[in-house]
Chain A
């Protein structure tokens, strides 16, 4: 029996067999240029094709690269061109940026920045910047001591430090330009979010959903870091920048000071709702979109009410911060489902018209397609294993909660799906305008949950969830899926042993890259899900891959290894790898700037050119 199961799993892993969910034509038989859905995206700001200057490449958060040098014909020949280890052992989550001839990397705590010179053989270090954040932050960060990304703007590398600073570094010299303190780490908040830049503003949010924090999101001036606007998630409308422009689609989110009145007295002050995830921007509407975390404490019996604006998404005026609309995915979140995952901004055909939408894979297991002009939910369908809700009622926008899923204090409630970490976590999906599909790593698991009452002690967890997480039906913890955001259906999936907690990148040659927690980096066919190439790496992958053209005009694909972050919940599972910190950069045949003479030989050559008889040397 066990042997047959292994064979079956192996077949799935190799892409030799696909689950019955597969609805699309397979492999070469698939139409080569036809979109499955008609969905498109505005790829502003329209960087040069070979550059990757922000975490998701564009404002819409597609992670789509138009590059085609690496394609289905040669992808099997990808080899390591060079690698770079940064020495830090916490989980690695961000994607490298490539601006001009320089690659920028930032490590998890202690948040060391590196600039690598891609114009030279071996991509040597151009500069190193050590910000020396306060080590007390180590004890306050809930889910490893991570950083999800960094930003480039106005000649500066800008990123968050775990100890609640945002710092800007001169991209040429590596010297600090400014550093601003945004919260008090001793009380619990940290910063792990990927700073996001549009024009003259950098958007940053706080972390600390499990620490009884008071979550906030703010716009800083790129020039000097001063706060242009700041919006608390909860509390009075004045602090949340909720005013006359605020028009949520559903009536239950309309009213005065709901960020106070949907909580027990004063409870919003420790209500967390920290915006630690991704930010998107629509240049036509001038709106920024971001989600908020779970409410604090995680034990729902201590906070009766909707707990607005936790586990929600906000649309705000990018210039002023004024809230335009909001939508709470999981009202009175009882399971720590959050709302911080990426919002991918698309245009979809919808009942004979085009709609401007955002697509959001929520931890709660539903993938939402929402009109991003007004917050109307058009589609909300399960994209993986969940049983906490019967469905999302599209007339009210509210979930119909399954009675058996309510947690109980001091009593174990078995088999709630998904567990706290969700059907998908912050690991960002990719969208291809060529296929019209989204691509995401997802989780297949449930929990037995026992809740404990907790009291607020500043600087300590305000939590109370005791969980045993277990793999869902089928025995595999994860898979990688293609999703139709118009129909709300899976198109294909690839089963994986553990949670697929890496980001994804889509290319103009219909390749999708993603990594696994057991150390495999894969390229799959965007149309069929067929695995075209897999390379085993030195640690598990929980970071986002990216692709770029080097100064040598060659296409490279890069991904950080270094399993960690929230993925550490599986650290005792078979196949979970030790931590690491190596960036791997791939090219066809490993050719390019990572190969060639060492510096010493180069110097020798410069001094006295070496002449080797070309044929005789080998005979």
Chain B
């Protein structure tokens, strides 16, 4: 059953940048492959340089605690990664595809207890 839901999710067209709202569900939620891909991107795109390899923060905020400066819903995390923040988080929409950003969201959510 889980697998069917997953395949359906994968078949559904991903919302492009403009269509993602705060309430957009993560199309890759809980997907193990997406989590692993997000993990790789987290290192490759230097996310770990600010948020630490264990996501507990350093230069940038802790991504494992309950405090979300720009919202903790999947669509809000997507928006923060895509657009950046006025306080120095770079915008990644020119360097990552929507799929890749959802992979990062999936990885971050997997580490968020």
Interface residues of A (CB under 8 A from B): 135-143, 210, 450, 452, 454-455, 457, 459-464, 466, 568-569
Query: How many whole Å from B70's CB to the nearest CB in chain A?
Result: 12
Instruction: Given A141-B59, A142-B59, check contact A459 B50 (CB 8 Å).
Output: no
Q: How far is the CB of B95 from chain A (nearest CB, A)?
A: 7
Known: A135-B88, A457-B95. 9 other contacts (CB 8 A): A139-B60, A141-B59, A452-B53, A455-B44, A455-B46, A457-B45, A460-B90, A466-B52, A569-B58
A-B pairs with beta carbons under 8 Å apart, 10 shown: A136-B86, A139-B60, A143-B59, A450-B53, A454-B43, A454-B46, A460-B46, A461-B49, A461-B59, A462-B49
- B46 A462 Cβ-Cβ under 8 A: yes
Residues of A within 8 A of B48 (CB): 452, 461, 463, 466
Q: Is the CB of A139 within 8 A of B89?
A: yes
Check B21 for interface membership: any CB of A closer than 8 A: no
CB < 8 Å: which of B43, B52, B88 contacts A137?
B88
B52: chain A residues at CB < 8 Å are: 466
* Bound-complex Cα distance A138 to B87 (A): 5
With CB as the reference atom, state the residue of chain A lying closest to B45. A457
**Is A457's CB under 8 angstroms from B88's CB?**
no
Residue B85 at the chain A interface, CB threshold 8 Å: yes
Q: How far is the CA of A262 from the CA of B85 in the complex (A)?
A: 37
Nearest Cβ in chain A — how far from B61, in angstroms?
A: 10
| Residue in B43, B45, B50, B85 whose CB lies within 8 Å of A452 | B43
A362 to B44, CA, bound (A): 32
Contact: B46 with A135, CB < 8 Å?
Answer: no
A464 CA to B95 CA in the complex, in Å?
Answer: 20
Bitwise, B17-47 to A at CB < 8 A (1) or not (0) is 0000000000000000000000000011110
Task: Closest A residue to B54 by CB, please name it.
Answer: A466
Residues of A within 8 A of B90 (CB): 139, 457, 459-460
Q: Are B46 and A463 in contact (CB under 8 A)?
A: yes
When chains A and B are docked, how far (Å) is the Cα of A460 from the Cα of B89? 9
User: How far apart are A52's CB and chain B's nearest CB, in angstroms?
Assistant: 32
Chain A neighbourhood of B95, CB < 8 A: 457
Contacts of A466 in B (CB 8 A): 48, 52-53
Give the docked Cα–Cα distance between A516 and B58 (Å).
Answer: 21
A139 to B45, CA, bound (A): 15
Query: Which residue of chain A is the closest to B91 with respect to CB atoms?
Result: A459
What B residues does A137 contact at CB under 8 A?
Answer: 88
* Contact, CB under 8 Å: B86 / A460: no
Chain B nearest CB, measured from A421 CB (Å):
12
The residue from B45, B49, B86, B89 contacting A463, defined by CB atoms under 8 A apart: B49
A135→B45 contact, CB < 8 A? no
Taking CB atoms and an 8 Å cut-off, the chain B residues in 39-85 that contact chain A are 43-46, 48-50, 52-53, 58-60, 85
Are A460 and B60 in contact (CB-based, < 8 A)?
Answer: no
Task: Using A452-B43, A455-B44, A461-B59 as known contacts, say yes or no to A140 and B88 having CB atoms under 8 A apart.
Answer: yes
Whether B50 lies near A138 (C-beta < 8 A) is no
* B49 contacts A454, C-beta separation under 8 Å: yes
Q: Is the CB of B86 within 8 A of A135?
A: yes
In the bound complex, do residue B88 and residue A460 qualify as a contact, i.e. CB atoms below 8 Å apart? no
CA distance A352 to B42 in the complex (A): 59
Contact B50–A461 (Cβ < 8 Å):
yes
Q: CB distance B50 to A139 under 8 Å?
A: yes
Specify the chain B residue showing the minimal Cβ separation from A141.
Answer: B59
B85 & A139 in contact (Cβ 8 Å cutoff): yes
Q: Let me know if B44 and A138 touch, CB within 8 A.
A: no
Say whether A460 contacts B49, CB under 8 Å: yes
CA distance A102 to B111 in the complex (A): 51
Partner of B45 from A136, A450, A460, A569 at Cβ < 8 Å:
A460
* Chain B residues, CB < 8 A from A463: 46, 48-49
Interchain CA distance A568-B62 in the complex, whole Å: 13
Identity of the chain A residue whose Cβ is nearest the Cβ of B61 in the assembled complex: A139
Inter-chain contacts of B43 with A (CB < 8 A): 452, 454
Q: Known: A452-B43, A457-B95. Contact between A139 and B49, CB under 8 A?
A: no
B46, B52, B89 interface centre (most CB from chain A within 10 Å): B46
Residues of A within 8 A of B45 (CB): 457, 460
Q: Is the CB of B87 within 8 A of A135?
A: yes
Give the chain A neighbours of B59 by CB distance below 8 A.
139, 141-143, 210, 461
Cα distance, A143 to B89, chains bound together (Å): 15
Task: Compute how far the CA of A210 lies from the CA of B52 in the bound complex, rounded to whole angstroms.
Answer: 13
Closest A residue, CB atoms, query B44: A455
Partner of B50, one of A136, A450, A460, A569: A460
Complex: A139 Cα to B90 Cα, angstroms: 8
- Which residue of chain B has its CB nearest to the CB of A212? B46
Query: Chain A nearest CB: distance from B11 CB in Å?
Result: 33
CB of A139 within 8 A of CB of B88, answer yes
Q: For the complex formed, measure the closest distance between the CB of B81 and the CB atoms of chain A, giving whole angstroms.
A: 12
**Nearest residue in A to B46 (C-beta to C-beta)?**
A460
**Assembly CA distance A464 to B46 (angstroms):** 8
Chain A residues contacting B87 (CB-CB under 8 Å) are 135-136, 138-139
**Which 4 residue pairs across A and B have the least CB separation, nearest first?**
A139-B88, A461-B49, A460-B46, A463-B49
Q: Chain A residues near B53 (CB, 8 Å)? A: 450, 452, 466
CA distance A138 to B60 in the complex (A): 9
B46 touches A461 (CB 8 A): yes
Q: How far is the CB of A254 from chain B (nearest CB, A)?
A: 35
Complex Cα–Cα for A461 and B47 (A): 8
List residues of chain B with CB within 8 A of the CB of A457: 45-46, 90, 95
In the complex, A466→B43 CA distance in Å? 11
**Chain A residues positioned under 8 Å from B86 (CB to CB):** 135-136
Residues of the A chain whose Cβ atoms lie less than 8 Å from the Cβ of B50: 139, 460-461
Complex Cα spacing A568 to B59, Å: 10
Give the distance in Å from the alpha carbon of A466 to the alpha carbon of B48 in the complex: 9
B contact residues around A568 at 8 Å (CB): 58
Q: Hey, which chain B residues are within 8 Å of A454, CB to CB? A: 43, 46, 49
Report B-chain residues with C-beta under 8 Å of the C-beta of A141. Answer: 59
**Chain B nearest CB, measured from A144 CB (Å):** 9
Of B44, B86, B87, chain A has the most CB atoms within 10 Å of the CB of: B87
Assuming the A-B contacts A457-B95, A461-B59, are A138 and B88 also in contact, with contact meaning beta carbons closer than 8 angstroms in the complex? yes
Q: Which residue of A lies closest to B53 (CB)?
A: A466
CA separation between A454 and B49, bound complex, in Å?
Answer: 9
Closest residue on chain B to residue A466 by CB atoms: B53
Q: A460 contacts which chain B residues (CB < 8 A)?
A: 45-46, 49-50, 90
Give chain A residues whose Cβ lies under 8 Å from the Cβ of B89. Answer: 139
